[in-house]
Structure formats: structure tokens, C-alpha cells
Amino acid sequence: MKFSKAARPVIMGQNGMVSSGHYLASLAGVEILKEGGNAVDAALAAAFVSAVVKPETSGPGGDLFALVYMKKTGKVEAINASGPAPAKASIEEFHGRGLKSIPQYGPLAIAIPGAVDGWLELHRKYGSKDLARLTADAVRLGREGFPISQEFSEAVAEFAPEYPWVDKYYRQPFGVAEPGKILRQPGLAGVFEKIARQGRAGFYAGEVAEKICATVKTEGGLLAEADLQSVICQWLDPLASSYRDTMVYEQPPVSQGFMVLEMLNIAEAWPFHDGSMSQAEMLHYQIAAKKLAFEDRIKYLEDPAFGDPNIIPQLISKEHAAKRRQLVDEILRKPAASAGNQSSDTTYLCASDRDGNAISFIQSVFAPFGSRVIAGDTGVIMNNRLCSFGLDPSKANALKPGKRPAHTLNTYMVFRGGELFAVGGSPGADEQPQSNFQIIHDLVDLDMDPQSAVEAPRWSHMPGTPPRDQLPEALRMETGYSKATLDALRAKGHKVTEVDRWSFGSAKVIVRDRDNGAWLGGADPRRVAYAIGW
């Protein structure tokens, strides 16, 4: 591994590591490790705190996905706690309201929330600490408050003027939600106390469920109490594919994690690792791999319970990659396809422990402040995940009651020689698989340390999206690439735009040192993210 001077140091720990989207969440997770908890306990404590200190990104009203590796079993397992469409959510329902698409925000965008089921199932299967202890820091921060970040302040300033619920909860208490103001959320703290005491019934039944559904009904949405009764969480086999001398694991559908594996498979044939290609040549082919995989996502990704369960294994095969690789020149000439509504407020975290266990974990309410509907006085921000669906019944990912929408959320784990090498992920909607692809390339091909890989300048290739945004297809590149690289990409036909140095995602990575077993953590300066080791 090549260590280089980055803006932040690589964080190191012999006994464990937590890297998350907020320093208070990482601190809560490490405290659990110090008390003898395992990686799953630490991740849960960090996730609960994240829901309080980053409420615009995640919480009980959202969803989660995770990859779990327990050293004793030697297996990687995937958990999908994404909620399906309510029983009343049908194409006919929306067409009957005169709508040609599902609104991106508001009550009609709310899917059944799955995060609480996921938290509880992770705790049931692998938690070793009492749930009351794991939620304690979140409850305390909800009741006593915490100083809000500049990032959160800017989100409130952007969305509160237009959305009454956001205004009521996050701007009115302050007048102006300036950085450093103390935010208290007693309603959300009470929800976590109920979950700790009552388990599933503390959220999906009783007072909290009644307030959620009453609010949604009053606002004109489709979610009903009956929708909350079925267990949402699934344990699944992860997707896996080799990349050079590593084995990479990803989330199975309904996650778009297969795209990372497909991109790696396509890229594997090119010598990104031996110094024979210029940076512009490597990026040119990486962008082609991205466009090819994204095209497959638009065509095929949907809830496998409503489609072909065999299609994704085909898409991540080496044979499929070889066929797609032949289309590089063609795909670079074609306009990129658009997936429609894609939001980008999510939080990712990872944790590891002294026994070699690790978890790669992501949770989200989808857009900033989700649907912008908050459930009564509970402080629970409801997701807007239903807007991921389309209303064309002939297409993959078309809306049906009980169907899970296709998700941008994905996480990865990388093994080398049968041993855990790295866990990581990032928020960022359709930039998630692109960021993960680039960071795995940095770790495996370029042998970077985790902090340098996280901080390296990134690119984001996005399709044109008229008429909503009137944006043409563009290759946006963070400052930090050389002029020679940018000029060479433009000469190859890429529509290059330089953007701010810290624009894409908020990656977190934990790497294990193969020689001494120490954990090495990286966290992204692009947002309020920190790694803490012990």
C-alpha cells in the first residue's frame, strides 16, 4: 500500500474502526466498541445517532441496506430493508389523479419505511449489546441537542422556505438555522425510546404508526396502517465478482450495486494497474464502462419478485462484460439514458472490530428531508422513495402495490486471498456506483491508502435531463486533474466541465493491514465525515 500526504491523515486502530458521515456518529460507534460491542453494535449506534444529527439524510422514515461479514462464519451476507409501495399505490391510482409521473416530493412520494425493520433485524441476528444502550446516544442528542453543522444549516436554508414541515421543525425554532445553533428533537428521541422498549411495535404499530398514517392521510398520501404490518427486511446472498486479485461483494437487487461489478468486469481487460495507460486513457474507458452498465440498469433493474430473477447474475458475468466491452466506441457516441427522478441525500457508514468482523451500511430518506413530510410531532421525516418508480407498465421498475422500487443505495466489500481487505461506500444517488467504482480502482489498481483514495479527485458522468433541468450530458470533473488530462478527454469527444474540488459523494473506507491486522480508516472531506479508530 502506498501512503501519500492527504488533507487528512489515515486513521489507524488495532481494536476497531468506525467511519461515518458525522463525527458524533463515529464517536458513538467507537464507544460501543470500547465497551465490548461488535462491529454490528457499533454500526447500529452510529446509525441511530446519524438519524438525529443528520436527519435530512436518514432516519426511521427511510430505508437501509448493509453487507455484514462475521469472521466466525466466513460469510458475507446482505440485508435489504427497503420498503415497498403501499397497497393503494398503483399506476391506475396516479393516472386517475391526472398524473403522468409520481411527484418527487410530498405525500404521494412516500413508500413504506424499512429502516426500523432493518435495524431490529441486524440487532436480532448479530447484536450483542442491549438495544437501549445502542440507542442511548441518539436519545440523549435528541433531547439535549447538538450544534448543527454548516452543511445542515445550508440544507434548512434551501428547503424550509418552500416546505412547511421543514420550516416548522428546523427553521422556526431558530429564526435562522445558523451553524452552531443547538437543535433539539424530543419527538425523535421518544421514537427511539419506543423502538428500544417495544421493538417493531414501537414504530410500526401503536402511537407512532397512528401519527405517521394520520399525517400522511391528512396531507393526501396513500400510506395506511395496514401497510406497516408486514415485515419488510430480507436477508439475501450478496452479488460477487472477481476483479484482478480480489473478490468484490455488492448489494443484490433492488439495489443498483450490480453496476459496480459490471463496470469492474468491463474495465478488468484494460491495463489500469501497470502504468502503461495515461490518466486520460483510463478515464475514457472507465466512463465507457459506466455508460454501458448504466444502460443495463435502465433496461433491467427492478424488484426481482416482479421480474426476471436471473437477469442480474447474467449482467455481472464475465461473458456479458466481454460483449459489452465490444460496444465501447458505440456507447461513447450515444446519448446517455436517464433514470428519471434520482435524489441524493443519504448517509453511509462502515465499522470493524477487534475480532475481524465488519459491516458496510447505508441508510437514506432519499432526497434532502425526504418527502418533506414529517409525521406529526414525532420528528420522523418520511421518505420520498416511491418517486423512483415509473408509470409505464411496459418498463422495468414500473409501479405496482407491494413492489420495491429500484434503489441507488449500494455498499461494497473487497476480499484478497480470502481475507477481508476493504469495506466502503458513499452517498450520492447515481454518483454512488461511479464513486465506488473509482475508489475500488484507486485501492486495487493504484494501491492507494484509504484516505488518499477517498480524497482523490473524482469524475461524475451524468445524462442530459431535459426538460426538467435543461442540462446536457456532461462529464463533470473535480479540480485536481491536470490540464493535459482534461484536454485529452475533450479531444476524445467528452463534454468536460470542471467543478469544485469537493463535489461528489462522501465516501468512507476501512482497509485492513494484511501484515499486522490493524484497521486503516478514511473519511471524506466532501461532507461532515470522520473516521475514528481504537
| Of residues 185, 291, 254, the one with CA closest to residue 396 | 254
Q: Look at residue 252 and give its three-state secondary structure.
A: coil
CA–CA dist 273, 244 (Å, integer): 9
Helix and strand totals (H; E) in the chain: 18, 19
Report whether 486 contacts 310 (CB < 8 A): no
As a whole number of angstroms, the distance between CA 149 and CA 179 comes to 5
Active-site option among 57, 135, 215, 346 = 346
> How far is Cα 60 from Cα 191, in angstroms, rounded to an integer?
9
| Strand extents, DSSP E, 319-391 | 345-353, 358-366
CA 84/CA 106 separation, integer angstroms: 17
Dihedral sign computed on CA atoms, order 317, 319, 322, 324: negative
Distance between CA 453 and CA 158 in Å, rounded? 31
Cα Rg, the chain, nearest whole Å: 22
Residues, the chain, total?
A: 534
Spatial distance between the Cα atoms of 151 and 148, rounded to a whole number of angstroms: 8
- 13 in Cβ contact with 519 (< 8 Å): yes
Q: Alpha carbon 91 to chain centroid distance?
A: 27
Q: Is 8 in a helix, a strand, or coil?
A: coil
How far apart (Å, rounded) are the C-alpha atoms in residues 85 and 80?
A: 15
First and final C-alpha spacing in the chain = 21
Question: Checking DSSP bridges between strand 16-20 and strand 474-478, what pairing results, if any?
Answer: unpaired
Q: Can 346 be counted among the known catalytic residues? A: yes
Rounded distance, CA 147 to CA 337, Å?
41
Give the C-alpha separation, 367 to 380, whole Å.
Answer: 14
Give the C-alpha separation, 149 to 23, whole Å. Answer: 11
| Those residues with Cβ within 8 angstroms of residue 166's Cβ, 6 or more apart along the chain or in another chain | 156, 159, 160, 369, 372, 374
Alpha-carbon distance 445 to 270, whole Å? 11
Sign of CA dihedral 136, 45, 10, 151: negative
CA–CA dist 347, 432 (Å, integer): 11
Active site residues: 346
